[in-house]
A = this chain, B = another copy of it.
Amino acid sequence: MDRENRVSITVIRRLPKYYRYLGDLIRKGINRISSQELSKLTGFTASQIRQDLNNFGGFGQQGYGYNVEELHSQLGKILGLDKTYNTVIAGAGNLGQAVANYKGFEEAGFKVLAMFDKNPKFIGLKIRDIEIKDVDEMEDFIKENDVEIGIITTPKESAQDIADIYIKSGIKGIWNFAPADLKVDDDVVIENVHLNESLFTLSYFLNNKQDYVRG
C-alpha cells in the first residue's frame, strides 16, 4: 500500500460505516456490490466511495464492483479488527455498565477484562462476568493482563487521573467518554465520545435545518 501521505480523518471515520454496511450485506447473502449501490446504502457519493477506498489500495474492479466479503475482510484488517484487544473500564456507573454490557464490542474482538471504581458500593459486583475492582488495583492489573485499551466512563473530574494511570501502566489507546480533553503522551491515541457535543450539534441542526445534510 502506498501510504506516503496521511489519510484524512474524515475518510478514516467513514471506514467503520462501510465495514458495518458490508457486514449487513454478507448477512443478507450479497456477494458483489458496485460503488453506485454502496452509495445508495451509505449516502456517500459513488465517486467519494471509490476515492475513499483507493486510499487503501482500491479493491474494486472496473465493471465488476467490489467483492463484498473481500472488501469487508480488508477493511476489517485496516481497522485492526482481525485482532483481539484486552480492555478495562474505569468508572462503574451507568455509562460504564452500558459499555460493559454491550456484547457487540466483545464480538468485534474487544474484551473487557475488568472494571474499576473507587466507590465501595460497586467494588466486588459483577456486570455479566466482569468484576468491578478497586481502582487502586488498576495499575497492577493492567500490567499483569496485557491490557491495550483503557476506557474512561468516570466523571470529568477523575478523567485525567485515570488517563495518567493508564499511561503509566503502558496503555496506548484510550476511549474517553468524560467531557474533558485529556493530556497524554504523543504515542497515546485517544478517541473521545463527547456526548454533550453531539447533543449540541443536534440542537444546532434543529435550529438551522438549511445546513443539515443527512449521511
Q: Check if A124 is an interface residue, CB within 8 A of chain B.
A: no
In the complex, which of the residues B16, B78, B205 contacts A191, with contact meaning CB atoms closer than 8 Å?
A: B205
State the number of copies, please.
2
CB-nearest residue of chain B to A55: B211
Contact A202 B191 (CB under 8 A): yes
Contact of A108 with B20 at beta-carbon distance under 8 Å, contacts A12-B204, A80-B207, A189-B212 already known = no
Q: Which residues of B contact A199 (CB under 8 A)?
A: 105, 108, 110, 175, 191
Q: Show the binding face of A for B, using Cβ within 8 Å.
A: 3, 6-7, 9-10, 12-13, 15-17, 19-20, 43, 78-81, 83, 85, 93-95, 97-99, 101-102, 104-105, 108, 110, 148-149, 172-173, 175, 179, 181, 186-187, 189-191, 193-214
User: Sorted from nearest, which 3 A-B pairs have the closest CB atoms?
Assistant: A94-B98, A16-B197, A191-B202
